[in-house]
């Protein structure tokens, strides 16, 4: 018997305020251990897709009005975000929302509380985060609001990793960051994927970059799937031009 797909999004439609149709029939899958890119211009529906997967639409007066999200063979429709986290899916929201007054380490600790871990487990988890993000170890006693944008993105990812996820939904990790920092963050994502088997669904506008790290990619255009395939195929087709609407 074939294994159930890890994450399967089938023909979803999402609306905001009952009237704004943000997604129209989007389907995608993430296999276990994969890095999948979700590409598209501003407003194409990337964030909405991630929020539909992790059941965060209701908090934005949005709703999934058609289709299904199946995670490890089970519909996520009735699972609240905390239950999803307990089952291994965690979302890192766009815009690196750190608690500026808390230290770097305190920010990381807020990611772990859902599991009610023991003190030893927390120590272990922190040590693991610091091996992937040595910069965060150096700055662990500094208030997060005083760290750089790249470090805040690392804090946001590190905090998500404290939940021990198997799938991370990451929204625009490169946004507003210098290319050298973005590269550092993507290298860490690759390490987490290769060494720890963490899967990623990465929403990104920076197609050229993310296609170098992803296995598969989907391209959204005004809420619809405009293209899908292996990252290598889409890169060869010059997909960046495609989703900006100026392909031949
Ligand atoms: P961005 O890179 O700007 O985040 P995106 O590809 O993630 O773009 P979404 O944020 O998913 O796109 O937006 C898809 C559509 O839904 C857009 O037309 C947007 O204006 C609309 N939209 C998003 N959030 C809301 C909301 N809270 N209320 C109403 N409309 C929304």
Question: How do strand 7-16 and strand 62-71 relate by DSSP bridges?
Answer: antiparallel
Supply the pLDDT for residue 245. 44
CA of 45 to the centre of ligand 1 (A): 6
Supply the pLDDT for residue 66. 95
pLDDT tens-digit profile, the chain (248 residues): 455 679 999 999 999 998 899 999 999 999 999 999 999 988 999 999 999 999 989 888 999 999 999 999 889 988 888 889 989 999 998 877 899 999 999 999 988 766 666 777 778 889 999 999 999 999 999 999 999 999 999 999 999 999 999 999 999 999 889 889 999 999 999 999 999 999 999 999 888 889 999 999 999 999 999 999 999 998 888 876 655 544 33
| Residues with C-beta less than 6 Å from any ligand 1 atom | 16-17, 20, 22, 40, 42-48, 60, 94
Rg of the chain, C-alpha, whole Å: 18
Supply the pLDDT for residue 248. 37
Tens of pLDDT, residue by residue over 9-52, are: 999 999 999 889 999 999 999 999 999 999 998 899 999 999 99
Give the C-alpha separation, 209 to 204, whole Å: 9
CA of 44 to the centre of ligand 1 (A): 7
Instruction: Give the residue among 14, 6, 36, 10 at the shortest CA–CA distance from 228.
Output: 36
Instruction: Give the residue among 41, 29, 34 at the shortest CA–CA distance from 203.
Output: 41
Give the C-alpha separation, 92 to 200, whole Å: 11
Supply the pLDDT for residue 247. 38
Supply the pLDDT for residue 184. 92
Task: Find the farthest-apart pair of alpha carbons in the chain and give their distance in angstroms, rounded.
Answer: 58
Write the residue with the smallest CA distance to atom 11 of ligand 1: 45
**218, 45 contact by CB (below 8 A):** no
Given ligand 1 and candidates 12, 26, 44, which is best to mutate, with the most ligand atoms within 8 Å of its CB? Answer: 44
Give the C-alpha separation, 177 to 11, whole Å: 33
Whole-model pTM: value is 0.92
CA of 139 to the centre of ligand 1 (A): 34
**63, 14 contact by CB (below 8 A):** yes
Compute how many other C-beta atoms are within 10 angstroms of the C-beta atom of residue 56.
19
Instruction: Give the residue among 162, 164, 143 at the shortest CA–CA distance from 152.
Output: 143
Supply the pLDDT for residue 44. 94
Supply the pLDDT for residue 22. 96
Supply the pLDDT for residue 102. 96
C-alpha distances out from residue 69 to 29, 63, 64, 144, Å? 10, 13, 10, 34
Write the residue with the smallest CA distance to atom 30 of ligand 1: 16
Tokens of 95: 């815009």
CA of 130 to the centre of ligand 1 (A): 34
């Amino acid at each position: 018997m074939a294994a159930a797909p890890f994450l399967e999004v089938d023909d979803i439609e999402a609306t905001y305020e009952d009237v704004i149709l943000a997604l129209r029939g989007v389907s995608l899958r993430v296999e276990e251990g994969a890095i999948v890119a979700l590409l598209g211009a501003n407003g194409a529906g990337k964030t909405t897709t991630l929020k539909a997967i992790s059941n965060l639409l209701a908090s934005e007066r949005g709703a999934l009005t058609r289709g299904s999200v199946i995670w490890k063979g089970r519909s996520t429709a009735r699972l609240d975000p905390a239950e999803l986290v307990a089952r291994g899916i965690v979302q890192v929201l766009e815009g690196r929302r750190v608690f500026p007054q808390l230290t770097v380490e305190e920010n990381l600790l807020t990611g772990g509380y859902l599991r009610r871990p023991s003190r030893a487990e927390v120590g272990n988890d922190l040590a693991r985060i610091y091996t992937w993000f040595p910069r965060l170890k150096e700055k662990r006693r500094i208030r997060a609001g005083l760290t750089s944008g790249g470090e805040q993105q690392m804090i946001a990812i590190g905090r998500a990793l404290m939940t021990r996820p198997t799938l991370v939904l990451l929204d625009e990790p490169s946004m507003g960051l210098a290319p050298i920092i973005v590269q550092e963050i993507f290298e860490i994502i690759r390490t987490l994927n290769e060494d720890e088997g963490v899967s990623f669904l990465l929403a990104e506008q920076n197609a050229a970059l993310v296609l170098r790290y992803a296995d598969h990619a989907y391209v959204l255009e005004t809420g619809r799937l405009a293209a899908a395939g292996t990252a290598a195929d889409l890169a060869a087709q010059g997909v960046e031009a495609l989703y900006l609407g100026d392909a031949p």
